[in-house]
Structures are given as structure tokens and as C-alpha cells.
Amino acid sequence: MIYTITFNPSLDYVVTLSRLQVGAINRNQAEEIFPGGKGINVSWILQNLGVPTRILGFKAGFTGDEIQRLVEERGIPCSLLPVSNGFSRINVKIRAGEETALNGKGPEVTSADMDRLQAQLRELTSEDILVLSGSGPSGCAPSLYGDIARAMEQRHIPCVVDATGRLLAGALSAHPFLVKPNGEELEDLLGRKLSTEQDLIQGARELQQQGARNVLISLGGDGALLVDETGKVHRHLAPKGTMVNTVGAGDSMVAGFLAGYLRNKNCEEALHWGICAGSATAFTMHLAEKEAIEQLVKGN
């Protein structure tokens, strides 16, 4: 089972306009509501690909209940823990040529709430995988992901970390199975510009020196680069297609990579599945369906 944690899930209210007029009343041409959050996106794609998964994290208020209802309606097992203060976010995404987003704050998560999550995590076994992705709860310690990953390492449970800044940096020494920065996030983490592919490879190796086992660097329309734990470099370009939506593409890449890796533990195949899953999501309005991913995997 692959467990994902979404500390700050959301209802994503996506509206489409011909153009956005600031300071005026705008009437949308289309609207959709999706459950959002990076961990939820990973589980959504895993479920589409037939990989057993469960969503962990927190929810609050009527918005939290609706997030859980929507993911369970999709058939994804969901064990979001209710918290008392605040309500789960509503994120407004306006598509009007360019995309504009207004993201909510999210509820307050207490130390007692975190203890309840830790109790859930103690039920995982070495046959499971844990995905830590996105931001932590409001006011969380920079060591949060590292603390969780180290607890998992002690029990031989592989961790995937898809985060930025100090949350990612703090998890490296826990030897996560996979980290997935994009190019800009890797530059921010290392504090320098990475102008060439060789620079990116060197940056990935530096993360491995700090503890990461496999480093997957997403490069948008240029595909992705993987430096695996044996030191081998894998490079794939993205399939051709019309870019429609970038939200969730990186999460889809993580899910596709894991689904591909679980087939026969081959990193080259895992990277191919990851790029195809990420691209399939980028070519649609929401998260990709199984058929769209498989068509790209087969080269159709």
C-alpha cells in the first residue's frame, strides 16, 4: 500500500473566463470543483493506475467533509483526521489566458492532532511506502518531514519526499527513497544557478551526498532527469502534446514513477511511467485517466 499525507488539503474551485477584469464583476464560462492537495493528487493517479493507496492528513469543517466525500466517491480510501480550529482550504483558480490562484490558509493543527497522525503511521509496515508531499500545516517545524522520514527509516518503510526548502532539506539525512525537486526548487535548495544538464546532475548528486537515494528532477516540457541510487543517470524528454494544465503534473509524475517502479523495480521504466503520467495530466483539465497515461507509455 502507498500512503500519502496531505497536511493541508483543499477544495479547488476552478473557473474559466474569457478574460479577468480586476475591480469588476466577472462571470465565468465554466466551473469545476476538485479535491486538491499534492498527496491527494498522488493517490488519485495511483488509484487510476490500479495501485493500492490511502490518503492520510487532516480535514476541518464542511469543506473538509466535502474533500473526503469527493475522494471516497472516486473510490480512494481516505483517513483524514478531523481537527477543531478553522476549516479546510478553498483554493480559487482562475483560468483566463493566464492562470491566477487564490489559496486559502487552512486549519490549525495542534500537537495532539499530530499525535493522532503518528498513531496512524505506526500501523504502516515495511511492505508499505509513504509519500510526503506539499507544505506542512501552518506553523509547522522545518524538521517535520525529516522527523517523519526518520521514524519510517527506522522501520524500513521507504519514503518519498516532494517538498521544497527546509522541509526537503531536513528530510535528506533520513535517506528518503525518492525526492522530486523541479529545476528551480533544486537551485533554491543549493543556492546557485544550474544552467546546464550537467549542473543538474551535479546538483542531484549533492542531494545524494546528503542522504537522498534517488533524485528525480522534473523539467516541465523538457521531461525529467533521474540520478538513481547506483549513480546511473536517466534522461527522458516529455511526449509531445498540447499543454492545458500544469496543476498536478508533478504529483502525477511521482505517482507514475512509483507505479512504474513497482512493476519490476526498474528505474528506467519508472522514469518513463512518471513522465507519461505527468504529461498526460498536463494535457488535460484535471488529473489524467489511466487510458491517457497508458497511451503515452505505449507511444501512441
Length of the chain: 300
Please indicate whether residue 251 is annotated as part of the active site: yes
Annotated active-site residue in 12, 113, 162, 251 = 251
Catalytic (active-site) positions:
251
